[in-house]
Chains A and B, each alone.
Chain A
Amino acid sequence: MTHGLNRYLRLLGHLARYTLNRELAFRGNFLVKVSVEVLWLCILTAFYRVVFGRTTLVAGWNEDQYFFFVGCFFALNGLIETFFLENCSDFAELVRTGDLDFLLLRPIDEQFLISCRRIDWGTGPNVIMGAAVMAISLSRIGWHFDPVLLVAFLVTFVCGVVIAYSFMLMLTALSVWMVRNQSLMEMWWLFTSLARYPKEIFTGTWAAPLGRFFTFFVPILLVVNIPSRIAVKTLEPGMVAFTLFATVALFWVSRRFFKRALRSYRSASS
């Protein structure tokens, strides 16, 4: 198993180097992509600065806590977009043209090859920018170093990445059946609109059950909420345990679903 893991890590390293060289061959384009992301973070910052100029709390989060949440989402989404989004977005086209056949012939795990083929370095700086926003927020809060909280945050952050990846993989797998799939990027953006905000906004007669549904059945609300709450609000062992369980369960379900989709794939060849 260690040998297999090393093999995939080495492969990921080669893919990363190859895609980085390709990205830097078009430096202007790379700079523009990064500029757009910086601009988007500035717009988000401006939006929430305007909001917090009118109120001190949004869904029970004060300004510094909320900005930590925003930084956490930005970093996590940056990781997903860097490693997986472009690859998963290409999947529908691979299915449509039949080029998926060439990938399925390779002696590598199909899920790894399809979801990790290319690394989009243009969104890589988002992780750094998100981390910077989190660090600034923590210093404003006056956060004191706590190794338990730090480890819990990092573990649940990774869980958030895996949960988000699992949902993306399931959306991707749908391309096999819904061949004329809309842009995965658009669908992903729509879906992650749920993960962008604190789950405390889901209050009220109809919203509270919806919030529970997206926490315990389709647990997209765990992705950013749990690590952020651990860092700037409170550590809830029950929710941490549930997040770990949901991560393992979702990863397993998404992998099974993806393999099921591949079995349903009708090759382009005769």
Chain B
Amino acid sequence: MTPPDALAPAPFATADPFARPNHAPPHSPGRGPVATVRKYFKIFRASLVERMAYRGDFLFGTLLRFLPLITTILLWQAIFKGVPGGRMSGFNFREMIAYLLLTNISRMFSSMPGLAGGVAKEIREGTLKRYMIQPVDLIGYLLSYRAAHKVAYIVTSFIPYAILFTVCRGYFDGFPDASTLAVYVISLILSFLVGFFFETCVGMVGFWFLEVTSLLYIVMTLNFFVSGHMLPLDLLPHPWVDILKWLPFQYMAYFPAVVFLGKVQGPDLHFHLALATFWAVFFMALARGLYRLGLKRYSAYGG
């Protein structure tokens, strides 16, 4: 939507021939912090007006989004009623709900909607060639773009999530201590990096298959389970839990959540932070390698 053009020259009054001519100079964009704040406030207001023009859609969607949360809480309540001792692999009912709420935060950082498809589309349509003639690196550009997108998304989602967590505060034992919170933030950043570079690698498959949507569907469906988004990985039987705790997918949902809940500490915590870093670096190197290999066979289709 085009924001109100507050910076355009004001139209001169011409209807009344006897009106005194307006010799005031046309409005020109001001400089300085006040003008900048005023400019972005106008954009904010226009965007808010646009959003509230569809308030029926917004309210209805918000109402529907609470339904899965309600049924999830009720389902786990029913499950835990039949569990001897009320604990499963170290999780009681409150911790389970807290975990599932926290995985939404993890996924907010690690999910990259449209990234892999976007890379494949650039390959397919030939627009990738701009990265070969301009001094801009594709992966660097995408990383900056996604980081900015995530910051904007987190800022705009802050209030709804704050309301949600305030309503559900009974499932938490308050905030963890400062050092745990700091490690939690690091784990979220690692979650972002692992998620970003992983999906970039999937997108790079576009050099060989052109269309990656199908592969992405399968990967994302599987990821929903193996990342621990559906249930904590600790509930799975051996050897599955041991295998999954070596793989990168846990860092996209499971790991930050259990860090916040204080379930990973000491050497175990250090090990997993190092492993998460390894996987982020691994996928970064893989993405670079696939990009170089892909460019060798790139023929600029389309465009």
Contacts and interface: CB of A to CB of B under 8 A. Distances in A.
Determine which residue in B57, B67, B74, B225 has the highest number of CB atoms from chain A within 10 A of its CB, and name it.
B74
Contact of A54 (B61, B65, B77, B88): B88
Interface stretch (B188-196, B213-221, B281-289): B213-221
B286 to A, nearest CB: 23
B50 to A, nearest CB: 10
Interface in A192-212: 193-194, 196-197, 200-204, 207, 210
Interface majority SS on B: helix, strand, loop or mixed? Answer: helix
A43 B61 contact: no
Nearest to A35: B218
A174 interface: yes
A193 B237 contact: no
Interface stretch (A55-63, A138-146, A260-268): A55-63
B214 A190 contact: no
B303 to A, nearest CB: 24
A47 B225 contact: yes
**Interface range, B side:** 20 to 34
B225 A46 contact: yes
B54 A191 contact: no
A178 interface: yes
A97 interface: no
Contacts of B75: 58-59, 197, 201
B298 interface: no
B235 A36 contact: no
Contacts of B148: none
Given A40-B221, A177-B56, A187-B61, A201 B67 contact: no
B37 interface: no
A179 B88 CA distance: 46
B64 A178 contact: no
A39 interface: yes
Contacts of B82: 55-58
A234 interface: no
Contacts of B218: 32, 35-36, 39
Given A47-B225, A54-B79, A54-B88, 14 more contacts: A28-B214, A32-B215, A32-B218, A43-B221, A50-B237, A56-B82, A59-B78, A178-B54, A182-B57, A187-B60, A194-B71, A201-B77, A204-B77, A207-B70
25 contacts: A32-B215, A32-B218, A39-B218, A43-B221, A43-B224, A47-B230, A53-B237, A54-B83, A56-B82, A58-B75, A178-B54, A178-B57, A178-B60, A182-B57, A182-B61, A187-B60, A190-B65, A190-B67, A193-B68, A194-B71, A196-B71, A201-B71, A202-B74, A207-B70, A210-B70
Interface of B: 54, 56-57, 60-61, 64-65, 67-68, 70-71, 74-75, 77-79, 82-83, 88, 214-215, 217-218, 221-222, 224-225, 230-231, 235-237
